[in-house]
Amino acid sequence: MDFKKDPQVDFKEIQDLTPEQARQEIEALREGIEYHNYLYYVKNEPVTADARFDALFRRLQELEEAFPQFQSDVSPTRRVGAAPVDELKRVAHAGPMLSINAALEEKQVQNFLDFIDRNTTQEARYVLEPKFDGFSVEVVYEQGLFQYGATRGDGRMGEDISQNLRTINAVPLRLQNGERIPPFLSVRGEVIMPKAGFQRLNRERVQNGEPPFANPRNAAAGTMRRLDPREVAKKDLDILFYEIISVEGIRFSSHWEMLHQLPRWGFRTDARNRLCASFEEIRSYYQDLTAQREQVEYEIDGVVIKVDSYAQRETLGTRHRSPRWAFAWKFPPKEEITRLEDIVVQVGRTGMLTPVALLQPVDVGGVTVSRATLHNAEDVRKKDVRVGDRVRIARAGDVIPEVVEQIPEPDRPRKDPFVMPSHCPACGAAVLKEGAYSFCSGKLNCPPQIHGGIIHYASRDAMDIEGLGKKTAQDMVRKGLVRNIADLYRLSLDQLLQLDGFARKSATQLFEAIQATKTPPLDRFLYALGIRHVGQRVARILAQEFKSLEALKGAGPEDLTAVPEIGPEIAQSVVQFFRERENQKVLEDLFGSGVRIQDMKGETRTRPLEGKRFVFTGRLAHYSRKQAADRVEQLGGRVVFSVSGETDYVVAGEDPGSKYARARDLHVPTLSEAEFEALLSRSQG
């Protein structure tokens, strides 16, 4: 095999190896295979000896089987897919994962450049990148080894999809070119599904009677959030990297410099990235890319324009959700005209009612579209679309197709305008209006909401029922074992044994986990009910104010709005929830099954680090970043990324970065790892 780190393996009989010899050979094989991967997927210099590569891979598999003590998450053998998981765990990002302001019009791009001009002293240079229409992820490395990867989530917290990311060959499991390996590195990239793979996947889905994905982005997102990595490994996925979220031990002065370092470490970047300095260059890049768009092997939906200098980025700063130094110039959406055959109302997991247009199927930019969203009743009214009309639909590439407008046909009689039903089409409960949107109020008894409601009820911050994840909840509902959360408490051991993947031990554990939640404190219980607008904070406020469920149930809108921080929207939602007959029935059932809510008597000491902000820097000996963050969050604290006057503690491990110095400057208390552990154990009481 012609690559430089070709491990010199003489394939000794495995039973003749000492553990130490096996360990060394395993290590050499892992490094060699990953290097081969890097040449193939990143440098695009495929080596020819495939058969030799396969032999090395099999040898590694055999050695790992014979010496299970050397199993490792960063072994290339993990790329073929690990065992399925029950649910995806939440993780905090190493830095915020922001989005970008975007527009279609040239004028807006000029405004962006003018804004940059006015706010920088030296003329800015820009990096232009294709805007990949995929699924944004964070990938984290410590000492050059893959630690975990996460979805973007809400930008602060995402879901851990490590096991799925490992199946993508272009995600490095170890960084290359050893001399500049940072102790900590978090990078951002876009998981994409090439157009060809997308078409194939959709054909398969249709053959299996499953609905096709609307676009490659949804396909990538749907695949990456799957619970069975072996399924993910079969799919055609790729990844391109474009930003560093956080790094220690290295400073770059510009994005362009950083983009050159990424591939040296083994991260694939796009060959179309450019550095430029004027609007004319940006426009010609945009035009070129628009022209090439159909030929590019994956979907791109615009050009991202980024200020190159990191010093200038710093001066420009960020808004709440997007940086001031970047802008996306989107391509025009793809459009088509077809006939609207019907408007149906769909009930989502949150109870939101969405009018959906059923269309005569039409090909829009290579994808067959037969449904399009109409967002809400207000949208239908404004656009005045009616069943039978000819309509223009658009697929922006990144969203579900939408109905843009109706095309007038003067001589054709039209049907009546659409009206939103006053009762939920799924369960019959009253429909509530909230601005332009409509919601079903039958939360606890409405089929599409039951499944979502159970997952929420069981989730960590709610009742924390271990072993009751998404898959299990789905299975329970599908098998008719539960119709609402009260049914959970009636499940027998025998019934739990009917669930997919459950054996006596796991069923007993789940049974006990459910029974263990029969006496929840009021605040947790309120949050667990999933009442609209009642998040953890509001639940706590309500619980502390009203003390018992009885008192809260009896509260009218005025009693509620009299409580600080409770506005009319929350008040209406709470009152309506308890007024709904079906919800009342489920609550009675819960009590009938022995659930007893603990009233609030003064403060409970369950979240001792409530409101405390932590920053981590350097390497911890006993925790990964994620484990440390989890511990803090379990105790009510928050992990933030940069040190400011509002930071409560900076935890410094080995080789701390600049955050440590900044903490000193700002007189923010710093903790060693041992002090951090002491704080955790004190907090746990």
What is the C-alpha separation between 194 and 500, in angstroms, rounded?
33
- Identify any residues that bridge with 248 across adjacent strands, giving them in sequence order: 184
The closest of 518, 505, 458 to 482, measured between CA atoms, is 458
Minimum CB–partner distance for residue 159 and ligand IVH (Å): 15
Minimum CB–partner distance for residue 460 and ligand IVH (Å): 26
Tell me phi and psi for residue 132, to 5 degrees: -75, 135
What is the C-alpha separation between 266 and 256, in angstroms, rounded?
16
Chain centroid to CA 327: how far? Answer: 22
What is the longest distance spanned by two Cα atoms in the chain?
A: 88
Cα 144–Cα 150–Cα 153 angle in degrees, nearest 5 = 150
Would you say 131 and 304 are in contact if contact means Cβ atoms under 8 Å apart? Answer: yes
Identify whether 131 is a catalytic site residue: yes
What is the C-alpha separation between 266 and 174, in angstroms, rounded?
8
Nearer to ligand IVH, 136 or 449 (CB): 136
Q: Of 5, 89, 131, 626, which one is the catalytic site residue? A: 131
| Sites of contact with ligand IVH (CB under 6 A) | 98-100, 129, 131-132, 136, 190, 242-243, 304, 323, 326, 328
Minimum CB–partner distance for residue 225 and ligand IVH (Å): 15
What is the C-alpha separation between 401 and 372, in angstroms, rounded?
5
Nearer to ligand IVH, 129 or 160 (CB): 129
What is the C-alpha separation between 329 and 79, in angstroms, rounded?
35
Query: How many other CB atoms are there within 10 angstroms of residue 209's CB atom?
Result: 6
Nearer to ligand IVH, 240 or 462 (CB): 240
Would you say 576 and 568 are in contact if contact means Cβ atoms under 8 Å apart? Answer: no
Tokens 């403060």 belong to residue: 603
Name the DSSP class of 554. T
B/e letters for 639-670, b = 16+ CB within 10 Å, e = fewer, are bbbebeeebebbbbbeebbebbebbeeeebeb
Minimum CB–partner distance for residue 192 and ligand IVH (Å): 9
What is the C-alpha separation between 192 and 238, in angstroms, rounded?
5
| 614 token code pair | 């932590």
Nearer to ligand IVH, 148 or 242 (CB): 242
203 Cβ contact partners less than 8 Å away, ≥ 6 residues apart: none
Minimum CB–partner distance for residue 102 and ligand IVH (Å): 7
Chain centroid to CA 416: how far? Answer: 41
Minimum CB–partner distance for residue 129 and ligand IVH (Å): 4
- Identify any residues that bridge with 326 across adjacent strands, giving them in sequence order: 306
Nearer to ligand IVH, 41 or 325 (CB): 325
The closest of 531, 628, 619, 642 to 583, measured between CA atoms, is 531
What is the C-alpha separation between 394 and 157, in angstroms, rounded?
31
Name the DSSP class of 89. P
Would you say 632 and 638 are in contact if contact means Cβ atoms under 8 Å apart? Answer: yes
Nearer to ligand IVH, 115 or 511 (CB): 115
Minimum CB–partner distance for residue 186 and ligand IVH (Å): 13
Minimum CB–partner distance for residue 82 and ligand IVH (Å): 26
What is the C-alpha separation between 642 and 661, in angstroms, rounded?
12
Minimum CB–partner distance for residue 155 and ligand IVH (Å): 9
Nearer to ligand IVH, 84 or 194 (CB): 194
Nearer to ligand IVH, 304 or 663 (CB): 304
Minimum CB–partner distance for residue 116 and ligand IVH (Å): 15
608 Cβ contact partners less than 8 Å away, ≥ 6 residues apart: 635, 636, 683, 684, 685
Q: Which helix (H) or strand (E) holds 372?
A: strand 367-373
Nearer to ligand IVH, 323 or 637 (CB): 323
What is the C-alpha separation between 575 and 563, in angstroms, rounded?
14
Nearer to ligand IVH, 328 or 538 (CB): 328
Q: Which helix (H) or strand (E) holds 431?
A: strand 431-434
Q: Which residues are catalytic?
A: 131
